[in-house]
A and B are shown apart, each in its own frame.
Chain A
Amino acid sequence: MLRQVAISCLLAALALPAAARTRPHYGGTLRVEIEGDPWQRTGGLARRMVLDGLTTIGPDGTVLPALAVRWTSENNDHRWQFWLRSGVHFQNDTALSSAAVEASLTASCGASCPWSAMRAAGSSVVLTADSPMPNLPALLAGDKYLIGFDADPHVGIVGTGPFAATGELNNPGVTRLVANETCWQGRPFLDSVEISSRKSIHDQWLDLSVGRADLVEVPAEQMRQAHDQRLAVVASPLVSLLALTVSDSGALSSPSLRAAIALAVDRGALSNVIFQKQGEIAASLLPAELTGYAFLFSTQRDLNKAHELRGGVAPPALTLAAEGGAAMQLAAQRIALNLRDAGFSVQVVSAGAPQHIDLTLRRLTLESSQPQCALESILRAASLPVPVTEQTPAGLYKVERAIVDTHLLIPLLYLPRAYAVGGRVRDLRLGPDGAPQLAGVALEDAP
């Protein structure tokens, strides 16, 4: 009898009208946890949500209008003029102006800007340089050149983006952002976002599992573990380049020694052991997804050739530092072992060590899915300021080949960025650089 009642109840429940998936709801607070600083200049999650660029990059790598509605170049890309969108206001209600853009861009890069001069001209800004800047519209979409200013110490950074900083300090380590009701791109679905910073990955995953967090980070090397734990993982394409930057002074001033180092690193072991096969081994600066010709750069380890290039000479001990967390330190230890196999003496030191550092293991972000711009951003991050003027695949290949052959920047792995999300998060998309685009996110249980 009980069984019949139970079956009847089940059938009745199935027959009842159930709620269907709806359009995204407005409202609610998204709780995000990260390891780093939400306001850091490159990749800072809060900066991305509060500030907009003059341009933005579409999924196909095309440069799209953002705060600038159009732009023109003259004099063989030496002079660029960007016209600003009208009717846009900062979150403190001041109007977007060319003077504000000029001040923001000047503050963003100081003396190391790609341009040599800039001036406000009516509702536009004009940027000029001694060398051509063919990728300037794409570069201006990068984190470094987002438009904003420090309004006052209580609020913090003010921009035109979908969320506004509140400056609330009630909960230490938590940055609270609220929806910008008058955002020129439309009010975001979420009412607010709370970002808990400097949280270890372990704590982030724990909070996600007990419902205290909605979106947490998944480092590439832990993606497999996240899948094993049945976390809902959203991963980007390959948007980071793990690479060694090589000092051309000191022990490695010899190009053949640098070439020997490039040949001695076992990229396959790095990928398989440290990064759990979640990336792709790399010998080119840009992945095949962007160029289609990455296979032209050999990823093979060749210890015999490395020994040959070293020429039997024992160079002085090299110093190797790694920027980043535990996985980067492990990777540095592994590279040191590889180099010892090739006859180099290598000491792993901390990134802030006072002595001269010959090799630095870094994770560089491909800031764009446009290959020219991605290459230029990598070169700038590696302090190799080479303007990339070539626009065809064949031309780009020549530029990339020339840079790789200097062995001042040794590509090792391409890595994705990934996040794990809770059950109430919907419509999360990652940008071209793998950053979460939270303006389009909504909550299933929003009122």
Chain B
Amino acid sequence: MRFLCLLAMLASALLAQLASAAPSPWEQPAAALADQIAGILGPGQARLTMRNLSKISMDEFPAIRSLLEQDLKARGVQTSGAESANSIRVTLSENLRERLWVAEVVEGSETRVAIVHVEAGAAQPEALAGGLALRRQSLLTTTEPVLAALETGDGLVVVGPEEIVVFAHSANGWKEQNRVAIGQRKPLPRDPRSVIVLSPDGLGFEALVAGMACSGSKQPAQPEAQWTVRCRESDDPWQLTQSQRLAASSDHAENAGLTRIRAFFSTARNYFTGVVTPSVGVDLPPFYSAALLPRPDGAGLLINSIDGKVQIAETATLKLGVPTDGSSSVGLKAIAGTRDWGSDFAAFRSGCSTGTQVIASGSGEAFADSLRAYEIPAQEAIPASAPMNMDGTVTALGTAPDGKSVLAVVRRTGSQGHADSYEVDRVTASCN
């Protein structure tokens, strides 16, 4: 027992040693500032006072002071001289873009200033949401606008307003493989949108941006091969969902019929016109988002109309594998409990509870959007998870090809010194 205790103490001492051996982010700026101060003062004594006007944690303040004192001492400046006429006043400061450490060096009646730039610290880790646990994994962060994204077997395809960019896995993360101009001739709307889905053969992709359709393919036998991406002008309807299997045991070929529902998109606006093909047997209002949900006797098309109402079209024409002749009696039923929903949602198959849930963006302030999972067993959306803060505006949600996760595009509004940035997140859920 005593041996084990000794071993544990040794191990913790070793870990502490390793931790202290890690380079501090403050070493370089402390040395640079000490260099400049010593250049002004020369060897001698000075009183050192420090203050923090930056967002650096006060917990780190003593370590920074200690580093600076050591660096000054190494350059011949003793900071213990309480009686010295010379003084050094160091301010840890920052502006919108960078951190600055500023030293005011006072010798008699003369004050001289030294300024060094400090690299920003690492970002804070994110907390995970509770409940039916939603998790997000950041796949990509970029300052280029992202309209939609799709994970392929070995890469990530990102659709922007003017370009499609294909990334491939590499040892250092994503590596840009292709960048292809979409080549629109007409201006995009102010709130452009896009849809990207796997091609029916599962080997390529189809992307639609206002007025344009692009397809991508590559030789399956050659993982390193470049993607071939071709774009053309198109007014074709957009495919609403991935080629996915929504029902747990519906791996039947006929189920694919469900996933071929396409909808006409208003290219000068930001919504679908309500005209879908093949017809679902009911007139749909213009809508922003749609998702197919498994229902007891088939499937339902969930839509979010542009007036904010969430409704579901449950019709025999949407039964699994039944041809869509539009002859069945149908209805558009309002879904209660969607007051907190924003304009975007996507269905996914978590395997928890009823198996399929809907992830919806929040209706709160756009700068602090959230995602939340819901079950819709009948005509009410029941929260299935806690809201997960997305630290920005969710601008697009798309179901992954395997149906088990959702890709979210989040825009972080530029403020406090940062330009707008876009993040592609993979959102998954785990059962409690």
Interface residues of A (CB under 8 A from B): 15-26, 58-62, 64, 87, 162, 181-189, 288-293, 295-296, 369, 371, 392-394, 397, 427, 429, 439-440
* Subset of 20 A-B contacts with CB under 8 Å: A17-B309, A17-B339, A19-B309, A20-B310, A20-B339, A21-B363, A22-B304, A22-B306, A25-B306, A58-B419, A60-B97, A87-B185, A185-B187, A288-B53, A291-B95, A292-B95, A292-B102, A369-B96, A369-B417, A394-B114
Residue from the list A23, A290, A394 in contact with B270, Cβ < 8 A = A23
Of all chain B residues, the one with the shortest Cβ separation from A288 is B95
B307 pairs with A19, CB closer than 8 A: yes
Q: How far is the CA of A439 from the CA of B95 in the complex (A)?
A: 28
Q: How far is the CA of A394 from the CA of B117 in the complex (A)?
A: 9
Residue from the list B306, B364, B419 in contact with A62, Cβ < 8 A = B419
Q: Determine the chain A residues whose CB is within 8 A of the CB of B114 once the complex forms.
A: 394
B187 pairs with A184, CB closer than 8 A: yes
Any chain A CB within 8 A of the CB of B98? yes
Q: Determine the chain A residues whose CB is within 8 A of the CB of B93 once the complex forms.
A: 288, 292-293, 295
Of all chain A residues, the one with the shortest Cβ separation from B305 is A22
Q: How far is the CA of A296 from the CA of B90 in the complex (A)?
A: 11
B343 pairs with A59, CB closer than 8 A: no
Digitize B410-432: 1 where CB-to-A-CB distance is under 8 Å, 0 elsewhere: 00011101111000000000000
Q: Determine the chain A residues whose CB is within 8 A of the CB of B186 once the complex forms.
A: 182
Residue from the list B100, B268, B342, B366 in contact with A292, Cβ < 8 A = B100
Q: Determine the chain B residues whose CB is within 8 A of the CB of A291 once the complex forms.
A: 95
Of all chain B residues, the one with the shortest Cβ separation from A427 is B366
A58 pairs with B414, CB closer than 8 A: yes
A24 pairs with B191, CB closer than 8 A: yes
B268 pairs with A187, CB closer than 8 A: yes
Of all chain A residues, the one with the shortest Cβ separation from B306 is A22
B117 pairs with A393, CB closer than 8 A: yes
Contact A17 to B335, CB < 8 A, known contacts A59-B417, A393-B117: yes
Residue from the list B100, B185, B339 in contact with A18, Cβ < 8 A = B339
Residue from the list A59, A64, A186 in contact with B190, Cβ < 8 A = A186
Contact A17 to B338, CB < 8 A, known contacts A59-B415, A291-B95: yes
Assign chain B's interface to a size class.
35 or more
Contact A187 to B308, CB < 8 A, known contacts A289-B95, A292-B93, A397-B113: no
Q: Determine the chain B residues whose CB is within 8 A of the CB of A26 once the complex forms.
A: 189, 269-270
Q: Determine the chain B residues whose CB is within 8 A of the CB of A393 once the complex forms.
A: 95, 98, 100, 115, 117
Q: Determine the chain A residues whose CB is within 8 A of the CB of B335 once the complex forms.
A: 17
Contact A296 to B104, CB < 8 A, known contacts A19-B307, A20-B308: yes
Q: Determine the chain A residues whose CB is within 8 A of the CB of B419 once the complex forms.
A: 58-60, 62, 64
Q: How far is the CA of A393 from the CA of B366 in the complex (A)?
A: 34
Q: Determine the chain B residues whose CB is within 8 A of the CB of A22 once the complex forms.
A: 288, 304, 306-308, 342-343
- Closest beta carbon of chain A to B115's beta carbon, Å: 4
Interface residues of B (CB under 8 A from A): 53, 91, 93-100, 102, 104, 113-115, 117, 185-192, 268-271, 288, 304, 306-310, 334-344, 363-364, 366, 413-415, 417-420
Q: Determine the chain A residues whose CB is within 8 A of the CB of B99 once the complex forms.
A: 292
B191 pairs with A189, CB closer than 8 A: yes
Which of A22, A61, A369, A371 lies at the interface centre, i.e. has the most chain B CB atoms within 10 A of its CB? A22
Q: Determine the chain B residues whose CB is within 8 A of the CB of A392 once the complex forms.
A: 115, 117
Of all chain B residues, the one with the shortest Cβ separation from A293 is B102
Q: Determine the chain A residues whose CB is within 8 A of the CB of B337 once the complex forms.
A: 17
Q: How far is the CA of A23 from the CA of B364 in the complex (A)?
A: 12
B304 pairs with A189, CB closer than 8 A: no
Residue from the list A60, A290, A440 in contact with B414, Cβ < 8 A = A60
A186 pairs with B91, CB closer than 8 A: no
A186 pairs with B188, CB closer than 8 A: yes
Since A20-B340, A185-B190 are in contact, a sample of 15 more A-B pairs with Cβ atoms closer than 8 Å, ordered by chain A residue number, is A15-B336, A17-B334, A23-B288, A24-B190, A26-B270, A61-B96, A185-B187, A186-B189, A187-B268, A189-B191, A292-B94, A292-B95, A369-B417, A393-B115, A397-B115
Q: How far is the CA of A191 from the CA of B102 in the complex (A)?
A: 50
Q: Determine the chain A residues whose CB is within 8 A of the CB of B189 once the complex forms.
A: 26, 186-187
Q: How far is the CA of A183 from the CA of B306 in the complex (A)?
A: 24
Q: How far is the CA of A25 from the CA of B189 in the complex (A)?
A: 12
Q: How far is the CA of A25 from the CA of B288 in the complex (A)?
A: 11
Of all chain A residues, the one with the shortest Cβ separation from B102 is A293
Q: How far is the CA of A394 from the CA of B102 in the complex (A)?
A: 9
Which of A183, A186, A189 lies at the interface centre, i.e. has the most chain B CB atoms within 10 A of its CB? A186
Of all chain B residues, the one with the shortest Cβ separation from A446 is B306
Of all chain A residues, the one with the shortest Cβ separation from B379 is A17
Q: How far is the CA of A439 from the CA of B192 in the complex (A)?
A: 14
B190 pairs with A188, CB closer than 8 A: yes
Q: How far is the CA of A427 from the CA of B367 in the complex (A)?
A: 10
Q: How far is the CA of A393 from the CA of B417 in the complex (A)?
A: 15
Contact A24 to B270, CB < 8 A, known contacts A187-B189, A296-B113, A393-B115: yes
Of all chain A residues, the one with the shortest Cβ separation from B161 is A186
